[in-house]
Structure 1
């Protein structure tokens, strides 16, 4: 699993599935403004003035406490408020907020916030449904135009895979989660918990695969623990592409949670996957191939009797053959198909090496606060103790 969906601003612009430049993509430039409260980078106008995300959240939480809670400065009431000192004195920070013109009347009530969130969710779902229908139509039309013929069974399987992913893991649902402030993610445990819903969505996606649903519960648990983090790495690339996570202004927050060398390797790995995100099926189908692997990690001891290796690999072969037929239909020549496949495998092998480093680091750090992790993240990241 990568947390690289938060790190995309470190990456170069991705190429398309066929390594051709995308038309119509304009480079966006933004004027960088400072937060008038602490001097950090502004995310826009909040409550009437330019602020950073932490000061926006601080004012929203504390301005409504005036008259209920007493804010006291331990010094003379003139504490300097900067990016590095803003947490030291809430009294002076709140006073600075009012001094620069932040408007408490712009803070939404609980009812207003709920109504707004419901409207946002409604619009998001309508956009998602429209996008899903459009992609499904384009996919069907593209299949009809290809020189490499697919059987009617292949077409049905591919369409079902596409629709299942859009119904469960549609990346547009995660855009809000990519804009989390430093206050919201101050530890590795909070970061892991904040993305646990994405793990659950991927589990729902796999439930649409009949062969997966028919496996015994022990086999399901075995292959999930062994292979799931690799699948999550693939999904992160799709999320980054769909949500435009390069706009995230707070990647420094996530930088601080990992050693620099590991952070850079994670960014490089996700960059390697970006050429494949423009295909409507490829990574979604690869995820199914990977879940039916005997082991994509060395962290868990696999019991062959529990795993039922023969059954799992026979299922995997079905989807590997489907993947190869899809690659042939997507590429103009057989040679191009081979180049695409071998290039992807090379990137995945490198991803596996970095994934083991990430697993070792996360297990070492998160195990100190295992009680703070939600169950699915504990199961996927921490080694079981005998």
Structure 2
């Protein structure tokens, strides 16, 4: 996920969030600075939370005749008009076909008559196949995305087996997960090959995509994530909590400090994720500081009990005191917050694993904070975070498509994205209200972890 500011109609800046595993998409958007450029990658939504998106689409539709015809992507090989992503790069149909024909040929198959640095354009691309193919590889196109006829047949054969296996795995109840004690995630699975370049989000949107298969290792990883999530309470208690979860919160400061408990439990969850645990310590701090509020809000849907209408993560916890929220934030904000929460709750009732995986995706997301995003530090190891984010985004998509089918997966993914965008809008208002009522004396009473969550230095 990445956040980008674009100039909309009337030159008013609009902040949007885009899920992609290809940074070139973000570069293309920033260069174009045009909202109409997004028509090719925005997902449709049936969710009520996307009223603004619906209105924007209506405006775009009414102005379609006035738009320039050529607002498509640009081929990174020859510079001609491109219509999508092929083998890991933005290319035109001609360069796509060229790469498909020649990518697996021996390096000596082509010879450059010049110095090996021929300029490849739409006019010259046929003059030197050696330099054209070299530019394809240098631009990110990948041989491993080319499948043989036999490989395609084998992939199709595995679809039904994997879907049945996933459906069977999804029948596990929370009680069964708690009783089971599989090994830790880091011990259960081999480490991710850092040379693997995962497919971008646009590739996910094709029903025939080779990346949408959920294999046995993927299923094992998803179950291990669920197990790690269940173990977070035990591990956090073992490490020590800064607040007693069995103590009722009577003041607003108590309410804020009591949130340190789910925060510490979430951190215990993320420590079990090998990609997070192996990060540079400074990068961990940056991701936690700027992403934990969003993650914490989404996580509340997993702790809600529909039977008692309470937010309780453990049997020893007391009910979260919510009497301050409606007074502090006002009726409209409280109502909007409740609406967003119910949307996440719908996804939880549908499938808890979707939210559990989404928590990891959000933690690895750079630049979604609504609080001083311009102050967010540059990561020391951007690529490790980038690869982890892409891996779990792809894993989430593959899980939904394998279990629920392509059409339903699109609907669920769209609903999740819109809920996160709506949550960010509400979070900004809530954050401002909290900071507005906190006096210096109140701030001194806050626990250090809560100060970090609120971005209070």
* TM-score above 0.5, yes or no: yes
1:307-341 Cα offsets, whole Å, 9 max, x none, are 5333211210011110111111231x311111111
The residue number in structure 2 matching 1:326 is 399
1:133-154 Cα offsets, whole Å, 9 max, x none, are 3799xxxxxxxxxxx8621210
Q: 1:242 to 1:376 in 2, by over 3 A?
A: farther
Please state how far the C-alpha of 1:345 moved relative to its aligned partner. 0.8
SS state at 1:277 partner: helix
The residue number in structure 2 matching 1:164 is 228
* Separation in 1, partners of 2:352, 2:409: 16
- TM score, norm. by length of structure 2: 0.47
**Structure 1 spans left out of the alignment, 5+ residues:** 1-18, 20-127, 137-147
SS state at 1:281 partner: helix
1:280-299 Cα offsets, whole Å, 9 max, x none, are 31101000011111122132
Kept in 2, the 8 Å contact 1:224–1:291? The answer is: yes
Matched, 1:132 2:203: no
The residue number in structure 2 matching 1:74 is none
Structure with the larger strand share: 2
The residue number in structure 2 matching 1:33 is none
* Separation in 2, partners of 1:352, 1:262: 12
Kept in 2, the 8 Å contact 1:359–1:381? The answer is: yes
- Aligned pairs for 1:209-288 (under 5 A) are 209-241=273-305, 244-246=308-310, 251-278=322-349, 279-288=351-360
* Separation in 2, partners of 1:135, 1:149: 26
Please state how far the C-alpha of 1:263 moved relative to its aligned partner. 1.7
More off after superposition, 274-283 vs 158-167: 274-283
| Structure 1 residue corresponding to 2:385, chosen from 309, 312, 332 | 312
Q: 1:135 to 1:215 in 2, by over 3 A?
A: closer
SS state at 2:438 partner: helix
The residue number in structure 2 matching 1:347 is 419
Q: 1:314 to 1:251 in 2, by over 3 A?
A: closer
* Separation in 1, partners of 2:320, 2:448: 30
| Structure 2 residue corresponding to 1:335, chosen from 407, 428, 432 | 407
Kept in 2, the 8 Å contact 1:234–1:273? The answer is: yes
Q: 1:253 to 1:359 in 2, by over 3 A?
A: closer
The residue number in structure 2 matching 1:79 is none
Please state how far the C-alpha of 1:255 moved relative to its aligned partner. 2.7
1:233-275 Cα offsets, whole Å, 9 max, x none, are 1110010147733597974454334322222221111111111
The residue number in structure 1 matching 2:376 is 302
* Separation in 1, partners of 2:443, 2:322: 25
Kept in 1, the 8 Å contact 2:302–2:352? The answer is: no
| Structure 1 residue corresponding to 2:446, chosen from 373, 378, 385 | 373
Please state how far the C-alpha of 1:343 moved relative to its aligned partner. 1.7
The residue number in structure 2 matching 1:201 is 265
1:331-367 Cα offsets, whole Å, 9 max, x none, are 1x31111111112211111111111111222223235
Kept in 2, the 8 Å contact 1:196–1:376? The answer is: yes
Kept in 1, the 8 Å contact 2:245–2:261? The answer is: no
SS state at 2:304 partner: helix
* Separation in 1, partners of 2:265, 2:307: 16
Kept in 1, the 8 Å contact 2:178–2:230? The answer is: yes
* Separation in 2, partners of 1:311, 1:352: 25
Q: 1:362 to 1:318 in 2, by over 3 A?
A: same
More off after superposition, 224-233 vs 235-244: 235-244
Calculate the aligned-residue CA RMSD, in Å: 3.2
* Separation in 2, partners of 1:243, 1:206: 28
Kept in 2, the 8 Å contact 1:225–1:379? The answer is: yes
* Separation in 2, partners of 1:364, 1:238: 29
**Structure 2 spans left out of the alignment, 5+ residues:** 1-46, 48-173, 183-211, 238-243, 312-318
